[in-house]
Every structure is written in structure tokens, then in C-alpha cells.
Amino acid sequence: MAKKHVRITHGPSGEVIAEGPVGWGITPFEGNWYISGKHLRTKGFRTTAVPGLCPYKFIYLWMDFQPSVGEASRMLGWKYVIPNPLLPFIAFRVAVPGHHPELVVDVSEERSAIQTP
């Protein structure tokens, strides 16, 4: 059975932001990617003091991204700091938009080591 694998890269710097299996670790939801700490491959995200509110996902803070080389990208991501408990896959995770001009999202099929005929 094939599993999906995703790699999210910051295009201008080439820095890998996240990589791992699609599912609980890196969750697609409403066109965005919610990334667990285990699959985050950068330390470049910084929480800002700019809050946001979603009527059903609740309160988040915007995050700037500072790659190890190159210029910062303002408000490239966000994190729900007071999340809806009915949506645990968004809670306290870095989230990025699925279609941002500065992001490259590669989704591929990953075959398991044991294949049946």
C-alpha cells in the first residue's frame, strides 16, 4: 500500500521547513499544512505578537520565518495557541498555507518495504 510523503521547502532560501508522512505528523486541512514538532525541519519560525481569530478554530498567532540564509518572510505561518479541542491536529503546531508563492510543496507516493503481488 502506498503512503503519501510531503516535503515543504522555503523556495527563496531552499531551506526545508517540514518533511514526513501525510497524516497525523503533517496534516492537510482546508488547503493548509499543520506540522507536528517531530516533522518540523527548521528552527526559523518566530511567533509574533499579531493575533488572529477563526470562529471555529479559535485563537492563533502569526509566525515570521527567518531562514538560516537569506531574508525573513513575514507572517509565513501561524500557530493556534488557544485551539478548538475538537481539532487536536491543529493544536500548538506550526501551520503554513498550501499555496503560498514562497513555499514549494512536494507530495509523493511512498511504497512500503513489503509489497504484495
Q: What is the pLDDT of residues 5-25, one digit of tens each?
A: 999 999 999 999 999 999 999
Strands (E), 1-117: 2-10, 15-21, 26-29, 32-35, 45-54, 58-65, 73-83, 94-97, 103-111
Is 34 a member of any domain? Answer: yes
Q: What is the pLDDT of residues 75-87, one digit of tens each?
A: 999 999 999 999 9
Let me know if residue 116 belongs to a domain.
Answer: no
Question: How far are the Cα atoms of 34, 68, 93, 94 from residue 60, in angstroms, in the given order?
Answer: 13, 25, 10, 10
Report if residue 117 sits inside a domain. no
In a domain, 26, yes or no: yes
Q: How much is the pLDDT for 2?
A: 74
Q: Does some domain include residue 55? A: yes
CATH at residue 17: 2.170.150.40
Number of alpha carbons in the 13 Å side-chain half-sphere of residue 77: 30
41: left (phi over 0), alpha (psi -120 to 50) or beta: alpha
Q: Does any domain span residue 66?
A: yes
Q: Is residue 78 part of a domain?
A: yes
Cβ neighbours for 30, distance < 8 A, ≥ 6 positions apart: none
Count of CA atoms in the C-beta half-sphere (13 A) of 112: 7
Q: What is the mean pLDDT of the chain?
A: 94
Quote the domain boundaries for residue 7: 2-111
Its pTM stands at 0.91
Overall number of domains in the chain: 1
92 in any annotated domain: yes
